[in-house]
Every structure is written in C-alpha cells, then in structure tokens.
Amino acid sequence: MDKLRLMTPGPTMVPPQVLAAMAGPMHHHRTAEHRRIFREVTDQLRYVFGTSGDCLVITGSGTAAMEAAIVGVGGPGNKALVFDGGKFGRRWAKVCAVYGIAHVVCELEWGTGAKAAMVEEHLRRDPAIDTVIVTHSETSTAAVSDLEGIAAVTRSRGAVLVVDGITSVGALPVKMDEWGVDVAVTGSQKALMTPPGLGIVAVSPRAWERIESFSSTSLYLCLKAYRKALATDDSPYTPAITLMMGLRAALELIRAEGIERVWSRTACLARATRAAVQAMNLRVFARDPADSLTAVMVPEGFDETALRRRLRERFGIVVAGGQDQLKGRVFRVNHMGYVDEVDALGLIGALELVLAEMRHAFPPGAGLAAAVESLAGA
Amino acid sequence: MDKLRLMTPGPTMVPPQVLAAMAGPMHHHRTAEHRRIFREVTDQLRYVFGTSGDCLVITGSGTAAMEAAIVGVGGPGNKALVFDGGKFGRRWAKVCAVYGIAHVVCELEWGTGAKAAMVEEHLRRDPAIDTVIVTHSETSTAAVSDLEGIAAVTRSRGAVLVVDGITSVGALPVKMDEWGVDVAVTGSQKALMTPPGLGIVAVSPRAWERIESFSSTSLYLCLKAYRKALATDDSPYTPAITLMMGLRAALELIRAEGIERVWSRTACLARATRAAVQAMNLRVFARDPADSLTAVMVPEGFDETALRRRLRERFGIVVAGGQDQLKGRVFRVNHMGYVDEVDALGLIGALELVLAEMRHAFPPGAGLAAAVESLAGA
C-alpha cells in the first residue's frame, strides 16, 4: 500500500470534499450557475482576508498574483521598499526590476522577518518611498514578518502596503481592514486547501486609488480588468472553473471551523513540531519562526536528501527540501490547511524512526513526548 | 433529472476519465512523479501540435498564453501585422498596444479569415513587418484563416508567425513543423477536453532565436523561464497539478484515437451541423466557416436569448451566445473534443423542437434529415 501524505508547505493536502467538488460536470462560466459560485467564493475570501474590499481571483500561480499586485501599484512616479529575506522576497524585487519600477531592497538575514522599525527607518530616510512590499511568511526560510506592526507604520505614513501572504492568509492571523493592509495576495494551494492554479489578490479602496491612477503595463495581469468583471460576478478571461468549484468547497470548510480556530490549530501544530524537533536534537532554522510551516536544520554533513527519501519510501510522507542557499541544509514541513494533530504526530513519529535508522543521536521517544506535551498544554 | 450537455465552444465537455484523473491524491510538483506527468504531457502535446519543438504549459487562460507569445516575439526593434476579424484578434492588437510593440492592424470583415495574399501584400508594402499574428479559428465569429497558406508566405519572407490556435489546435489540422508555424497557442478547455486553467505555447527554434534576443518585459509570462525549467521537466512557478493530471488523461485519449481521426470527426460534425441549420432556414454566420465551432444566425427580431434558455431548461443543452457586435444575433455550437455524432444529432433534434415551439418556419424534420444525410455520406 502506498498511502501518500503530502506534508509540503504547498501544495498541501486537499480534502476529499474539495476533490469531489472538482469532479462535477463541467459548466460554462458565463452562466447563472457560475456567477453564484463566483459570488460565494469572493464573499468567503473577504472573510478569510478580513476585508470588506475586493477579492480578485486570477488563474495563475501565487507569483502571477503578486506580479499583478506589484505592477498594479508600481506606477511611473512611485518608489517601493522591498524586503528580501529569502527566495520569494527576492522574486518581488525582480518583478520591480523587470517592469522598471523604482525600488530599494532591504536585505534581511535569512530566517528573520521584517520589523516595523525597519520600515519606519526606511520611510524616514527616503521620503520618496510610497510603497512597501513585504513577505508575511517567507516560504523558503519559514520566517515571519511583523505584519501588524508594519501596517501601523505604513498606514500612519500614507504608504501603500503590499503583502505576499501566500503561506500566511488562512493560516496566520491577517486582518486586512483592521490592521490597514492595502493589498494582500495568496494562492489556492496553501492554507486554502485547493490544488494550485488560482492566485488571489485582495485590494483596499486606498490601493484602488493608486491602481486606477495610471495605465497598466500588462493585459492579463491588469487588476482593473478583474475589478470591472467582478461587478457582474465574472472574470475578464476564462476562469479555472474546476478549481473555483474546489475553492468554494474548501472555503465552506474554513467558514464552518471559524477562521480564529483555524489560526489557533495551525499555531498549535507549529509549536508542537518545533518542540519535537528540538527534543530530537535538531534546530529550527528561523529565528523568527512562522506558524504556517517549519524549516528544520539537519546537522552538518547529514544527508538531507536521504532523510526525505526514507520518509517518502517507508511512510508515504513528502516534506520539502531547502531552496537556493538552504538546499541540503533544511527540510520544510507544512502546518497549513487540511492537517491536524494526528498528522503532525504521525510525521514526528516517522521522523524519529528515520533519524534513528540514520544514526542521528537523540533520546528515543523524545520528539513524540515533546509534541504530546505541547499539544496537551494547548 | 437535469442532465447537463455543455455544447459551448469552450469550456467543452470533459470526459469522465479526465475528471477521475483530477480527483487523485494531491502530489508535489518537485518530485519524480510529477516530472513523469510533465514529460508525458509535453511529449503528447508535440504530437498534437505537429512539432518537435518545445511545448510550454503556463497556468493561466488562453489569453495569458497568447500574451506570453506576443510579448516573447515583440522586441523593441520588431513590427507586427495583426489580423483583427473578431473579439480575439482585437485582443491581440490590444496586447501589442499595452506593451508598446510596434504593429499594424489588418481589419477583416467579421466572419472571414485571413488569407495568404493579404499577408503577402502587407509584407511587400511594409518591409519593417517581421512578425505576423493570426487567429486560426476566431472563436467569436467561427471563421477560419488559411493557416497553411499564410505560413508558406511568412516562411519564405522570413517573418515570425504567431498563431492563436485556441479553438483550432487538436480540432483543425495544424502541422507546425511541416507548414512552418513559429509559435502556436492553445488552451486546455477547447479541443484538449480538460477544464480551463492551462495555456500552452509551442515554440519553434526560429522563434526561440527571436525570443532569446531581448529582455522580457514580464516575469510570469516570460517564455524563457518556462524553457529553462522544461529542461528538467519542471515549471518555473507552481503548476496547476490537477489540471496537468487531467490533461495527461485527455492527451492519451487523443493519441489512442489518432489526431487525423480527431480532425476528420470534428469536420464531419461541423458539416452535418451546417447542413442541418441551413435546412432549418437558418444561416451560418461565417463566410469562411471553421470546423471547430459554428456560429448560427437567428432571423431578424428573433429572441436568441429565449432560444438558448429553452435549450438549457428543457434539454440541459448549453450553447454560447454571440459576443460584442454579434450579441443577440448568433448562437455558437461546439464541435471540438469530447463530442460525437449522437451529441450533434441530439442538439439538432432539440433545436428543431425549440424552433418549432418558437414558431420559426421550416419543414419539420428537415434539420435532422440533412444532418443524417451528411453523416451518412462522410
């Protein structure tokens, strides 16, 4: 028997209700049926993002959605501050470069997040900066930024805040309207428990003012076209109908559980996992660890690829390796979406068995004991 | 019972084998499993496009894929000739405008296709034109262009030919390498019998020379990134995994039937449908009708919306209305993909019943008789 357990930080496991919803008969998107699906999806997305603003659904990856957001707010007269603390932050700086958007890059030590004071300092030093691009949870390092604090600064300074929430929205607390986040982006395949293929961009009225003030330099990724179509519960281009059907089912699950409970479940799993790996004499990579995923360091000289292969072959568990400079140095475990205490304990148990086989030294049972203790206290 | 019969020219009906393939357990895309799927999909796409060149799969609509193609070949020194004979041809001119790509538009009468002589004439008159953008089958008017003849001209003149094959590839004969087509584009939701969400761009070596010669002005839609990832059977950004699983199943069905037989089946259904509607005293809109779909004109003053509503409510049949200036004047019927003689006859029978109810004058049974005669002769 090969029972696959996808524990990567996206794509994440898809609930059977979502798989079933996607296998229904194909319908056409310019019909009342689809408009109803579309309306339900966008309503539920507002709940998840904590906003009464527009939630636009783009057929594409999370990168497509972030590109649309950045190009949308990055006009000829604007200047952006981009935080680069990993593979994804780096990508958003690249988007600015490709489109010729004026920007400065603030490099973060990998494993740390952006802080409010850094934003404050940059805005003070360079008054031309009117846009801040921050990755809430950096998927490559599993580090979190202080989104609430940063939003307080950008709001008071009048800068537009664009947030990569790809591994945060629906997993970590994000309260767009309450905190004053202007644009937030996510993808379907993370906390939203749907297969990859949809990028979502939530836009505040303040961000729309900026976006509407200049001509777009992209057609497919022009947010204005999505906004116009939204008025009639429609998409400007043919949407990924099955994924929309799946997303509706997934959002119903989130609504039924309640978003605060989803956040606290995710945080509990993250805490238990961090406690467990430390009890197994492994280290958590991030100094500012995100609760949506954990990057676990392997000891110097340890064969990280063999560890993942054994987890896959013996237990059907798939975790992610490191990216770029972290390749071979960390593996990454998901806490977002359709994952619960039993899944987390199963992974830790399997890790114990594989690490023991690979002669990594730690007290047998210590990981599971630490995890159980953490979960019991939660 | 509400048995839905999707007869729109995209999205088209999805075979149960494809729906089942998409409902399998979610896997990760940076794994050997996914690379195998990826490789099989791109190999089968080469067969369908008639090319030994690269077939790139972009998560996005057909518009995203065409935008990537146009931006890919439209460098600072290039000039394009764009044929505009409907809603989609017009859109490709708009892409040129948004990206500042030098271009001239050749307007076609709606319902007619581009001809080789027109291309010849434009290239002769304006030697700066080095790129030709043509819509093989214009979905809004159901008209076909002479792709083979046009390719012969662009090949001999050294111009790069970019083809919107969204409602042609996999339905009408397209032989990229044999004819000399440089770039051809399609979407998953037409002849490829897969839900919407994937755009495909096939690129010849000659087109790559052009594309590689300048910097891209888009990140997500930069074909170079997809080419680089293709070398390891990978995507630059998270792919729409379930749709790839579905597309693999659909391409296996096409391979098993044989692409020439798919083309001739499609042509037979188109001929039978045209014969039937004419026998029912209706007219086919296009003067150069494509075999992938048919646009049927309704008589002056006839309520086209009511006709579609009756087809939907009484028979579960969904056909498409007209777009832009053809709204209310035509309805459009699909012949691509998972549709056979029984489906076509069923639609014609339902049309007879509804037209009679709506007091349109025609000899009862004439549509079905004409269709049967056409199919018998095929």
Distance CA A36, CA A320 (A): 37
Taking an 8 Å cut-off on Cβ atoms, the answer to whether A6 and B27 are in contact is yes
Distance CA B334, CA B269 (A): 9
Instruction: Identify the CATH number of the domain in which residue B291 sits.
Output: 3.90.1150.10
| Cβ contact, residue pair A240, B195, below 8 Å | yes
What lies within 8 Å, CB to CB, of B256 at 6+ separation is none
CA distance B75 to B101: 7
* Helix boundaries (H) for chain B: 16-22, 32-49, 62-73, 87-98, 116-125, 147-157, 176-179, 205-211, 223-230, 241-257, 259-279, 304-315, 341-357, 366-377
- At residue B2, the pLDDT reads 81
Nearest CA in chain A to B65: A220
What number is the average pLDDT over the span B234-261? 98
Host H or E run for residue A35: helix A32-49
Asked if the Cβ–Cβ distance from B197 to A320 is below 8 Å, we say no
Q: Model pTM?
A: 0.96
Domain boundary among B231, B257, B283: B257
pLDDT digit string, tens, across residues A240-249: 999 999 999 9
Facing B220 at nearest CB: one of A8, A30, A67: A67
pLDDT given for residue A24 in this prediction: 86
Residue in chain A lying closest to B68 (CA): A220
- Taking the C-alpha atoms of residue A134 and residue B163, their distance in angstroms, rounded to an integer, is 39
What is the pLDDT of chain A when averaged over all its residues?
97
Measure the CA–CA gap between A130 and A116, rounded to whole angstroms: 15
Residue A18 pLDDT grade (very low, low, confident, very high; cuts 50, 70, 90): very high
Distances A183 to A197, A223, B153, B197 between C-alpha atoms, Å: 20, 11, 48, 24
Count of the separate structural domains present in chain A: 2
Question: A196 vs B59: CB contact, 8 Å cut-off?
Answer: yes
Q: Find where tokens 């037989």 sit.
A: B261
Whether A191 and A317 share a structural domain: no
Chain A CB contacts of B249 below 8 Å: none
Taking contacts as CB-CB distances below 8 angstroms, the residues of chain A near B64 are: 59-60, 64, 220, 237
pLDDT band at A25 (very low <50, low <70, confident <90, very high): confident
- Span A319-323, mean pLDDT? 97
Residues B275 and B253 placed together within one structural domain of the fold: no
Contact B162, B70 (CB under 8 A): yes
Distance CA B338, CA B7 (A): 10
Question: Which residue, A257, A285, A305, sits at the end of a domain?
Answer: A257
Q: How far is CA A217 from CA A50, B101, B303, in A?
A: 29, 12, 40
User: In the prediction, which pLDDT does B49 show?
Assistant: 98
pLDDT for res A183: 98
Q: Residue A341: how many CB atoms within 10 A of its CB?
A: 15
CA A14 to chain centre: 16
Residues of A in contact with B28 (CB under 8 A): 6, 8, 11, 318, 320
CA distance B376 to chain A (A): 31
Instruction: Identify which of A60, A91, A318 has the shortest CB distance to residue B60.
Output: A60
The fraction of chain B above a pLDDT of 90, given in percent, is 97
Peptide bond into A289 cis (omega under 30): no
- Residues of chain B with pLDDT > 70, as a percent, come to 100
Are residues A293 and A169 part of one domain? no
Does the pLDDT of residue B378 top 90, yes or no?
A: no
Residue A16: is the preceding peptide bond cis (ω within 30°)? Answer: no
* Burial of A4 (C-beta count, 10 Å sphere; 0-12/13-18/19+): middle
A119 shares a domain with A101 = yes
CA distance A271 to A250: 25
Answer yes or no: do B148 and B194 share one domain. yes
**Cβ-Cβ contacts under 8 Å for B243 (sequence gap 6 or more):** A195, A197, A240, A242, A243, B22, B59, B188, B194, B195, B197, B198
Quote the tokens at residue A109: 């030590």
pLDDT of residue B78: 98
| pLDDT range class, residue B1, cuts 50, 70, 90 | confident
Q: Name the average pLDDT for chain B.
A: 97
Q: Are residues A168 and A141 in the same domain?
A: yes
Q: Do B268 and B251 fall within a single domain?
A: no
- Nearest CB among B11, B14, B220 relative to A28 is that of B11
Location of structure tokens 């047998």: A364
Q: Which of B14, B19, B67 sits opposite A219 (nearest CB)?
A: B67
State whether A245 and A267 are in the same domain: no
Query: Which of B87, B242, B309 is most worth mutating to test chain A (most A CB atoms within 10 A of its CB)?
Result: B242
Q: Do A94 and B60 touch (CB under 8 A)?
A: no
Give residue B4's pLDDT band: very low, low, confident or very high (50, 70, 90).
very high
Q: What is the rounded average pLDDT of the residues B38-63? A: 98
Considering the domain architecture, whether residues A167 and A239 belong to the same structural domain is answered as yes
Structure confidence at residue B24 as a pLDDT band (50, 70, 90): confident
Q: Which domain holds residue B279?
A: 5-9+258-377
Q: 3-state DSSP: chain B helix, strand, coil percent, rounded to 5? A: 45, 15, 40
Compute the nearest-CA separation of B154 from chain A (Å).
Answer: 27
B160 with B249, same domain?
yes
- Decide if pLDDT at B63 tops 80: yes
B93 and B109 fall within a common domain: yes
In chain A, what residues touch B185 (CB-CB under 8 Å)?
none
pLDDT for position B252: 98
CATH number, domain at B188? Answer: 3.40.640.10
| Residue ending a domain, choose from B257, B272, B294 | B257
Regarding whether B128 and B174 lie in a shared domain, the answer is yes
Question: Can you tell me the mean pLDDT for B267-288?
Answer: 98
